[in-house]
Amino acid sequence: MKKNTRTIYGAYLQSCQFLNQPVVLAEKSTLNEKFNTHAGVILGESEVPRVRYMAIGNGGHRAVVGADGITQIAAIPHLPRQAALYHHTPFILRTPDHDLTAAERQNYRLRVLETHNGVVYVAYYLKVLEMSETVPQMTYMSERAGSVTTVPFSPTVADLNPTPPPLSSTGVLTTTGDYLSVTAQVRFVMAEADMEELTNVATILYNDADAGMIISELGLCSGIDRGVPGNFNGTNVNYIDAVGVQITHFIQDFYTTQFNATGIDLLMDIGAVEPLLTVSTA
């Protein structure tokens, strides 16, 4: 079911980075605005958002009854213009007197105070990703008879000294079935303890001790860590949170706390693929 959709905001951020231009955050495009926390931030000229967080939600699916009467799960796709998940769910939901410690908080961002069933809770809507393992690599993919072979790509002397192909007046360009790709695999991990926290979130949100949580949509997010003020059990304290948060990629997959209780280990490729072209005179 996994599908990756890049957003216009991710494409814009990448273009700004290519051109070394300042990033101007469009209104109504950040999760800070959606959750009304540290919204309206103007980035400094030297501040460049980086992909470093993950958001999750349970609104990316619907149940479909097949011809045999068996209920199946169908994905609800996201559009590149959309700036949020269909239904965000927090990773953590705790009462203020049982908030995360400063050390635990290093793994989460987008801290929000919200009320459920008359009780105030502290919610964390982003999980910090470990990006040190993500190393972009160039590969050459060749597809023949439905079989795909992938090898590392290295440019040759011919690539450095290209010659134009012969092209007649009737010639057209077609794809060869071969592709050049930059792979950049981002790992998203939720351990067993994380799934237990998510089960607690479901119990609070749905007021059901047996409630489970579904993850059917994920948002890979860019943003900037910045020191900001926050209310910690009645005391104002400066802490690190994410500002200028935008979803750069939507990922569709399906997990449940009941059937994935021991955790999740998901690899997402946010690289780029370019087809190789050949000349045809047919």
Q: Residue 136, by phi and psi: left (phi above 0), alpha (psi -120 to 50) or beta? A: beta
Residue 24 has pLDDT above 80, yes or no: yes
Instruction: Give CA–CA dist 35/8, Å, rounded.
Output: 20
Does a structural domain hold residue 181? no
What residues pair up with 241 in beta bridges, in sequence order? 226
Tokens of 119: 């009780």
The reported pTM is 0.89
Beta strands in the chain (DSSP E): 3-6, 50-57, 61-65, 71-75, 88-89, 92-94, 108-116, 119-128, 137-144, 147-152, 172-183, 185-190, 214-215, 217-232, 235-252, 255-256, 264-269, 272-280
Positive or negative, the CA dihedral 227, 236, 106, 258 is: negative
The single residue listed with the structure tokens 């987008």 is: 110
Does a structural domain hold residue 54? yes
Does a structural domain hold residue 25? yes
Looking at the 3D structure of the chain, how many domains does it have? 1
Does a structural domain hold residue 254? yes
Number of residues written out for the chain: 282
Does a structural domain hold residue 248? yes
Residue 273 has pLDDT above 70, yes or no: no
Instruction: Give CA–CA dist 146/246, Å, rounded.
Output: 37
Does a structural domain hold residue 179? no
Write the pLDDT tens digit of every residue in 179-217.
888 888 899 999 999 999 999 999 999 988 777 899 999
Residue 104 has pLDDT above 60, yes or no: yes
Average pLDDT over residues 144-153: 82
Tokens of 219: 């948002």
pLDDT score at 65: 87
Does a structural domain hold residue 220? yes
Q: Which residue range forms the structural domain that includes residue 120? A: 3-132+189-261
